[in-house]
């Protein structure tokens, strides 16, 4: 049995608590929340076996649910997406196992794809049971079954998000038999943007829709179920105009959403006059449910990727600044990185001249003709003067610049500011249709532009990067310590002692700075230790102590994705080793233990001894010093103890 199958059984009660919370949002008059909860519970019971390849019983149960919905004469829009509710509850509980260090994030993502595949098959079986109860030709039904399962297989495979978007529109068109299909998705900013289509000029038509017509389209999708818009059907003038601009006499609008949020719209239409059949509408709605699961998965993976990318962005800048020595070469490199961070294909960096403030092109990458005309120069000047980031999208973007006509699909421009003074603008562009930008993308680009501005101010480059970086690390350490009132300020004090010892021992500046970071982050792994263990007033059991001993390894796993912290990993990983070889994690002894780890061990122990804990009061300074002396040569490096004792006696520390 795989770990995810065991975890589903072990954590079933927590998962069902999550289902109960989510069921209220998915329920309706036809299917109340208790019914959704019951369906999810029955599915969860069979899910471990299904993940091992034994899923006929589960699919039969969901096909029976579909037949019952048909007997109740429910509309497709009244059918709740119980598999999606269960998936979200499972994801939430399993993320806690990642935080606890019980499973790697990559393993969880792989396992959730298997879970999603099984739950997608459940949804498909339910829809087929629902539609199969209708009077339908056997051949057509067999083809529909094959197509629905093909859609599940396609959408559960890994791939680029645009590959998934294209698969959605192609499969939906094939399953429904409707000529044209487009998918629009909501950005985090709330904009509705084209993502994929199965016909050539769809993007041009969608991007050219006026804002009020796009709003009418969004309103049609907000009605909760499939909506048919037909020319001459007593529509408001806005809808008639929308159909004219989209070159269609009839348009089927279907919301794509999870129980928690809206994700986008499916648009299906016929170039010629005609009517959508009830079966086509129901099939399209069923496909929208499958599409929602796939798009939601993309969102979860994208969120993980963005977080990791965001964490590494400052490190990327820091390393690049040491690589590109010539100013021009350095700016070219930073501009290339800006394009990578937000998936752009070209960019420019402009600096304001000192005397007159005119913006001058200093660096560029890719085809940058979009940045040479007066339209973009006006945007750049506005960004510089107002100190605000701007996202311009063709046909969608910022209303302040809606009349701009640039030869690209999107431009993202951010000010370069030093001490609140604008010194220039960095801008990137995407020429391909369908690119979306999340709120985190915008925040990341804004943060990155701030680092680029600092890099241009070479005299303050190192100090500013270090201050920003240390502040972020200090905030993270403080957030961890805030879980326990007894340890608030612990990492800062350990850092103070460790830096003082290192300076006393004559370590190089780089080694002192490594110790400063290691001191702040040495207990980062305790974020994965339950509060019940950390704050236990009595003696720990063997199992609890084993969990505590894992925190250096958890710390290492958390910071491994950040290359700029590579030097401090050995310090953090080995800071609980003993000089006599009886410590953990590897039982290293003597000078085989990294010097930084030996220093942190002394600083950490002294700070712990002189602080209150749930199980004892703080030792006095003299008592703690005596304990250091007693353990010198066994637990601690005698040389480190000697330097620290001299510092304590001189009251420097």
394/204 Cα distance (integer angstroms) = 10
At 460 the pLDDT is 40
pLDDT at 243: 84
Number of H helices, E strands in the chain: 25, 10
DSSP secondary structure letter of residue 85: H
* Residue 637 burial (10 A CB sphere; 0-12, 13-18, 19+): buried
Angle between helices 439-456 and 327-341 (to 10 degrees): 170
Beta bridge partners of 347: 365, 428
Residue 325 DSSP class: -
Long-range contacts for 165-171 (Cβ within 8 Å, ≥24 apart)?
165/195, 165/196, 165/295, 165/434, 166/196, 166/198, 168/196, 168/266, 168/287, 168/291, 168/294, 168/295, 169/196, 169/197, 169/198, 169/266, 170/198, 171/147, 171/287
Query: Which positions ≥6 away from 63 have C-beta within 8 Å?
Result: 125, 126, 128, 129, 132
Query: How far apart (Å, rounded) are the C-alpha atoms in residues 590 and 583?
Result: 11
pLDDT value for 294? 79
pLDDT of residue 151: 63
254: β partners: 266
At 459 the pLDDT is 37
- Determine the Cα–Cα distance for residues 521 and 474; give it in Å rounded to an integer: 8
Domains delineated in the chain = 3-302 (3.30.450.40), 324-456 (3.30.450.40), 463-649 (1.10.3210.10)
Give the pLDDT score at 374. 83
Summarised one tens digit per residue, pLDDT across range 88-111 is 888 888 888 877 777 777 677 778
Chain Cα centroid distance, residue 472: 18
Angle at 418 between CA 468 and CA 373, to 5 degrees: 125
Q: What is the 3-state secondary structure (H, E, C) of 379-447?
A: HHHHHHHHCCCEEEECCCCCHHHCCCCCCCCEEEEEEEEECCEEEEEEEEEECCCCCCCCHHHHHHHHH
Name the token pair of 649.
Answer: 């006696």
Q: What percent of the chain has pLDDT over 70?
A: 81
Alpha carbon separation from 307 to 311, 374, 617 (Å, rounded): 6, 36, 40
Mean pLDDT (10-residue bins), the chain, 653 residues: 83 90 83 91 90 84 88 79 86 80 76 82 81 54 54 60 85 85 84 85 77 80 81 77 84 86 88 78 83 77 59 54 52 81 88 81 89 87 92 72 77 90 91 70 85 67 53 64 68 93 93 92 83 81 89 86 80 96 95 96 94 81 94 96 93 53
- pLDDT value of residue 398: 62
Q: Helices 595-609 and 638-649 sit at what angle, rounded to 10 degrees?
A: 50
pLDDT in the model for residue 586: 94
Alpha-carbon separation of residue 426 from 347, 462, 486 (angstroms): 8, 21, 46
Q: Output phi, psi for 620, to 5 deg.
A: -75, 165
As to burial, measured by CB atoms within 10 angstroms (0-12 exposed, 13-18 middle, 19+ buried), residue 158 is exposed
Nearest-5° Cα angle at 189, 263 to 452: 130
Q: What angle do CA 530, 536, 542 make, to 5 degrees?
A: 80
Q: Do residues 406 and 370 touch, judged by C-beta distance below 8 A? A: yes
Q: Are 350 and 360 in contact (CB under 8 A)?
A: yes
The number of beta carbons lying within 10 Å of the beta carbon of residue 23 is: 26
How many residues does this entry show for the chain? Answer: 653
Q: What is the DSSP string of 165-220?
A: HHHHHHHHHHHH--SEEEEEEE-TTS-EEEEEESSTTHHHHHHTS-HHHHHHHHHH
Contact indicator for 224, 242 with CB cutoff of 8 Å: no
167's tokens: 């698969």
Count CA atoms closer than 13 A to 541's CA, side-chain side.
4
Reading the block at residue 326, the tokens are 């010539």
């Amino acid at each position: 049995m795989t770990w995810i199958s065991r975890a589903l059984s072990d954590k079933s009660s927590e998962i069902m608590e999550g289902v109960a919370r989510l069921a209220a949002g998915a329920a309706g008059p036809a299917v109340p929340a208790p019914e959704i909860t019951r369906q999810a519970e029955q599915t969860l019971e069979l899910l471990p076996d299904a993940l091992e390849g034994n899923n006929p019983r589960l699919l039969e149960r969901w096909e029976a649910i579909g037949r019952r919905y048909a007997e109740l004469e429910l509309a497709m829009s009244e059918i709740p997406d119980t598999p999606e509710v269960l998936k979200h509850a499972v994801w939430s509980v399993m993320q806690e196992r990642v935080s606890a260090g019980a499973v790697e994030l990559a393993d969880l993502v792989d396992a959730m794809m298997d879970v999603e595949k099984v739950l997608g098959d459940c949804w498909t079986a339910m829809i087929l049971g629902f539609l199969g109860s209708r009077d339908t030709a056997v051949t057509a039904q067999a083809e529909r079954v094959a197509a629905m399962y093909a859609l599940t297989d396609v959408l559960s495979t890994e791939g680029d998000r645009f590959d998934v978007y294209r698969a959605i529109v192609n499969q939906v068109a094939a399953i429904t038999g409707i000529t044209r299909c487009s998918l629009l998705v909501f950005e985090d900013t709330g904009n509705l943007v084209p993502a994929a289509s199965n016909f050539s000029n769809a993007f041009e038509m969608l991007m050219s829709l006026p804002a009020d017509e796009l709003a009418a389209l969004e309103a049609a999708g907000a009605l909760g179920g499939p909506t048919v818009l037909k020319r001459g059907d007593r529509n408001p003038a806005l809808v008639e105009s929308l159909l004219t601009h989209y070159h269609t006499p009839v348009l089927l609008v279907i919301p794509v959403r999870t129980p928690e949020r809206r994700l986008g719209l499916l648009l299906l239409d016929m170039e010629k006059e005609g009517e959508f059949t009830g079966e086509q509408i129901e099939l399209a709605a069923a496909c929208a449910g499958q599409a929602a699961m796939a798009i939601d998965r993309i969102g979860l993976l994208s969120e993980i990727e963005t977080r990791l990318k965001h964490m590494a962005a400052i490190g990327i800048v820091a390393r690049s600044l040491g690589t590109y020595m010539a100013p021009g070469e350095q700016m070219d490199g930073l501009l290339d990185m800006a394009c990578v961070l937000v998936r752009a294909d070209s960019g420019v960096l402009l600096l304001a001249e000192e005397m007159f403030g005119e913006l001058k092109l200093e660096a560029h990458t890719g085809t940058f003709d979009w940045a040479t005309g007066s339209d973009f120069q006006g945007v750049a000047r506005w960004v510089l003067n107002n100190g605000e980031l701007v996202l311009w999208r063709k046909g969608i973007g910022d209303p302040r610049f809606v009349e701009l006509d640039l030869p690209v699909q999107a431009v993202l421009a951010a000010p370069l500011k030093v001490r609140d003074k604008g010194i220039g603008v960095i801008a990137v562009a995407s020429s391909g249709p369908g690119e979306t930008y999340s709120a985190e993308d915008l925040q990341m680009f804004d943060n990155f532009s701030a680092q680029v501005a600092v890099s241009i101010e070479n005299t303050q480059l190192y100090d500013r990067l270090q201050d920003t970086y240390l502040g972020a690390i200090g905030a993270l350490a403080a957030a961890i310590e805030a879980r326990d009132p007894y340890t608030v300020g612990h990492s800062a004090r350990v850092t103070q002692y460790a830096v003082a010892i290192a300076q006393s021992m004559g370590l190089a500046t780089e080694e002192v700075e490594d110790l400063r970071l290691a001191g702040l982050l040495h207990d980062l792994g305790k974020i994965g230790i339950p509060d019940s263990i950390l704050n236990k007033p009595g003696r720990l059991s063997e199992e609890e102590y084993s969990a505590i001993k894992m925190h250096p390894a958890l710390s290492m796993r958390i910071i491994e994705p950040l290359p700029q912290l590579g030097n401090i990993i050995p310090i953090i990983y080995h800071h609980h080793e003993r000089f006599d070889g009886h410590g953990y994690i590897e039982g290293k002894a003597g000078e085989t233990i990294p010097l930084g780890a030996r220093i942190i061990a002394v600083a950490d122990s002294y700070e712990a001894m002189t602080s209150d804990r749930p199980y004892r009061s703080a030792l006095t300074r003299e008592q703690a010093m005596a304990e250091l002396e007693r353990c010198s040569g066994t637990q601690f490096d005698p040389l480190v103890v000697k330097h620290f004792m001299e510092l304590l006696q001189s009251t420097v520390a």
